Amino acid sequence: MFSKILIANRGEIACRIARTARRLGIRTVAVHSEADASARHVRLADEAVAIGPAPAKASYLNGRAIVAAAQLTGCEAIHPGYGFLSENAGFAEACTRAGLVFVGPPAAAIRSMGSKSEAKRLMERAGVPIVAGYHGEAQDEATLAAEAARIGYPVLVKASAGGGGKGMRVATGPSELGAALASARREAESAFGDGKLLLEKYLERPRHIEIQIFCDRHGNAVHLFERDCSIQRRHQKVIEEAPAPGLDSAQRARMGEAALTAARAIGYEGAGTVEFIVAADGTFHFMEMNTRLQVEHPVTEMITGQDLVEWQLRVAAGETLPLAQDRLAISGHAFEARLYAEDPARDFLPATGTLAHLQFPAEGRHLRIDTGVEEGDKVSVHYDPMLAKLIVWDETREAARQRLVDALGACEIAGVATNLAFLGAVAAHPAFAAAEIDTGFIERHRADLLPDARPAPDRIAALACLALVLERARAAQSALWRAGERQTDGTFAGSADPRSPWAFGDGFRLNQDGRHAVHLQDGTRRIDAVVRARPGHYVVELPGGALEVARAFAGERTIEAEIAGTRTVARAVRTEREIAIFAEGKSHRFAILDPLAVAAEAEAEGGSLRAPMPGKVVDVLVAEGARVARGTPLLILEAMKMEHTIRAPADGTVEKVKFAPGSQVEEGAELIAFRVEGETAPEEIGP
Ligand code: ADP
Ligand code: ADP
Ligand code: MG
């Protein structure tokens, strides 16, 4: 076994590899970008080497710097994790040339599976069933159009070099093909540096079931069963589970055999995953093979009791596989939920910001949390927005699902938009509980899953209002304290003990009439509230009616109140622009509206459309002066290696296009000046 390895990755997976290495007594070297100097993965490793500036191209994708770091620190092997250089055959070869072991398959195996087109040709020859489609060399529009017609619509356009759901577009008919090809090709070129495309029959309501395989260099090969990864958004997995619900052992054995046939056909070594798409009738077809560890590998670890990173290291060091097929068995059921910094309400757009508050439930036999971030960390545009993975295990699917619901409910995150509430809604959904899952699940149940479907209850909105008002009171009290307005016994006027949070119960001191206006935004719902402070109690007037509050106090990041006779204790975290309330196993985020600022912004903005994040304008789809209907695609922005379509917010006119294709834009930059039909002046939002 190795005595020292370099971890060529960051975040959650780098931390996870470090954890196994430590258990095995292997020393670790972390590499990091300038942005990650104090990141968790760096602190978990024994040594660390800075390899370049924040952009991945200059750091985590800088193979030369990484190999040099491994040589400098005397490592024997490099574990690439996933993403970054993990499926880069050139990097695998560079490691070998430098006398380092690349923890992964031989470069040739990476190459044959790196191109989905070539992989499908290989699998076809090896007798593995593949998805019907076109995976030829010719890429001209006429050939692709003819092939699409032959396959029959709907057709899925895929980047041959693709991964992570990028470079994929559905064309439901010939009229959509041109745009789908152009957009997939552009995204593929920018994300993978390779615009080659393939076409597949787009299957309706299939399941994604994949097989974890392992091979050593002594001719042994096993599969570690399947994972069902059908819960996806943007063609990317968000919740995975093992075993796959309803898969019988005969089918499992057939898929396992097909996966091993695929691995043998390319002389595989190490960990790999063969992904199949399973049609409603149970027939399965090869989709692609990922020649690395998979993001969702922990669910397999939970049901087999094996450590797959340990297996990888042993195989890479030349040992035989730790277990033979007949020694592997499935025990219980596991789920993994991927927690992303993203905004489900904005089509899962990646989000950035500072993790002002971050708290996960405690790990144990039933719950594992793989994460690479800590409170105070910045989520930047440079890297994948995945924050953590919550992995749960129990004897049955239902018991494990309940644990997932509980674990998600116990997470507290403020400062950055996340999919936490969305994941919670999926996990709690009756159709998910009934295992009625396929890749269309999220689309189909969208209305039940998005935050707007679940506005915060009035009691929670009242807590948010009280928290803000009490915070103002607290600020005022501490100002008084500083001003020395203290009574001789050291207490404030009107309270027995200044340290007791109950001391802040009489916020009316702030304001003559004890009336405080609070303006919040909960999803698409605006809440204009008034908190009236009376001696001994409050009244919170919400749009839906008034709530009596017998008493309320705010502590450091907590709020406690007796609302309409019921006492509630919650976490309340105030950041610059929002207040987050964590109560009763749910997160609620309210944007704080400053009425004057909102009015000023609306005035300045008119009907403009702004860049949701820094990026590059790749295409402008409309001409200035064009009248368009609501929802018409206007402009395509590429950010975080994905294309985002900026659409008309309403029926109206494109007054001015402010950037030409190729322009780099800052977050918030006005892209298009847009006049909404029939609107003359911006809507007035008064205080
Ligand atoms: P998998 O195929 O392993 O289930 P996905 O397809 O969702 O997972 O995503 C894998 C890809 O996403 C990787 O190849 C990488 O590009 C990116 N990725 C996801 N999470 C991370 C991460 N924490 N660090 C680096 N890359 C990541
Ligand atoms: P990636 O390399 O991005 O993971 P995949 O080829 O594995 O790309 O496809 C990602 C996801 O897209 C699949 O998990 C599946 O949900 C969906 N998908 C892929 N091919 C098809 C298809 N032919 N029909 C329907 N859905 C598909
Ligand atoms: Mg895939």
**137 and 38 inside one domain:** no
Predicted local confidence at residue 457, as pLDDT: 92
Closest CA to 653 of 624, 633, 683: 624
For the chain, how many residues are written?
687
Write out the residue range of the structural domain in which residue 82 sits. Answer: 4-103
**274 and 338 inside one domain:** no
Report yes or no on 571 lying in a domain: yes
Number of structural domains (the chain) is 6
Predicted local confidence at residue 165, as pLDDT: 87
Predicted local confidence at residue 6, as pLDDT: 98
What is the CATH number for 180? 3.30.1490.20
pLDDT at 498 over 90: no
**362 and 260 inside one domain:** no
**559 and 574 inside one domain:** yes
pLDDT at 201 over 50: yes
Predicted local confidence at residue 585, as pLDDT: 86
| Helix spans in 46-88 (H) | 63-72
DSSP result, 559-587: EEEEETTEEEEEEEEE-SSEEEEEETTEE
How many CB atoms within 10 Å of residue 131? Answer: 24
Report yes or no on 377 lying in a domain: yes
Report yes or no on 655 lying in a domain: yes
**Mean per-residue pLDDT for 66-94?**
97
CA atoms in the 13 A half-sphere facing the CB of 359: 13
**308 and 347 inside one domain:** no
Choose one of 331, 366, 388: the last residue of a domain. Answer: 331
Q: Which residues approach ligand 1 with their CB closer than 6 A?
A: 11-13, 82-84, 163-164, 236-237, 290, 294-296, 384, 386
pLDDT tens digits, residue range 549-586?
998 888 889 999 999 999 999 999 998 889 999 998 88
Choose the catalytic residue: 10, 292, 314, 532. Answer: 292
**515 and 547 inside one domain:** yes
Report yes or no on 236 lying in a domain: no
pLDDT at 255 over 80: yes
What is the CATH number for 581? 3.30.700.40
Report yes or no on 239 lying in a domain: no
DSSP state of 344: G
Please state the three-class secondary structure of 164-198 as a single string.
CCCCEEEECCHHHHHHHHHHHHHHHHHHHCCCCEE
pLDDT tens digits, residue range 469-484?
888 877 776 766 555 4
pLDDT tens digits, residue range 138-189?
999 999 999 999 999 999 999 999 888 889 999 999 999 999 999 999 999 9
Selected residue with higher pLDDT from 483 and 135: 135
pLDDT at 425 over 90: yes
What is the CATH number for 324? 3.30.470.20
Predicted local confidence at residue 347, as pLDDT: 85
Choose one of 284, 316, 331: the last residue of a domain. Answer: 331
Q: Which of 235-244, 396-405, 409-418, 664-673 has the lowest mean pLDDT?
A: 664-673
From atom 26 of ligand 1, which residue's Cα is the shortest distance away?
83
Given the CA of residue 10, which atom of ligand 1 is nearest to it? 24
pLDDT at 494 over 60: no
**474 and 569 inside one domain:** yes
**Mean per-residue pLDDT for 585-595?**
85
- Give the number of whichever ligand sits closest to the CA of residue 167: 2
Predicted local confidence at residue 523, as pLDDT: 82
pLDDT at 485 over 70: no
**119 and 263 inside one domain:** yes
d(CA 69, CA 98) in angstroms, rounded, equals: 11
Choose one of 593, 613, 633: the last residue of a domain. Answer: 593
Selected residue with higher pLDDT from 681 and 362: 362
Cα 124 to Cα 130, 265, 287: the distances in Å are: 7, 11, 11
**466 and 588 inside one domain:** yes
Whether 292 is catalytic is: yes
From atom 11 of ligand 2, which residue's Cα is the shortest distance away?
235
From atom 17 of ligand 2, which residue's Cα is the shortest distance away?
235
pLDDT tens digits, residue range 263-301?
999 999 999 999 999 998 889 999 999 999 999 999 999
**121 and 136 inside one domain:** no
Chain mean pLDDT for the chain: 90
What is the CATH number for 673? 2.40.50.100
Predicted local confidence at residue 482, as pLDDT: 59
Q: Are 127 and 261 in contact (CB under 8 A)?
A: yes
525 — pLDDT class (breaks 50, 70, 90): confident
Report yes or no on 344 lying in a domain: yes
Report yes or no on 379 lying in a domain: yes
Q: Which of 305-309, 332-336, 503-507 has the lowest mean pLDDT?
A: 503-507
**585 and 463 inside one domain:** yes
pLDDT at 489 over 60: no
What is the CATH number for 74? 3.40.50.20
Verify whether ligand 2 is closer than 6 Å to residue 439 (CB atom): yes
Residue 547 CA to ligand 1 centre (angstroms) = 47
Report yes or no on 487 lying in a domain: no
**609 and 514 inside one domain:** no
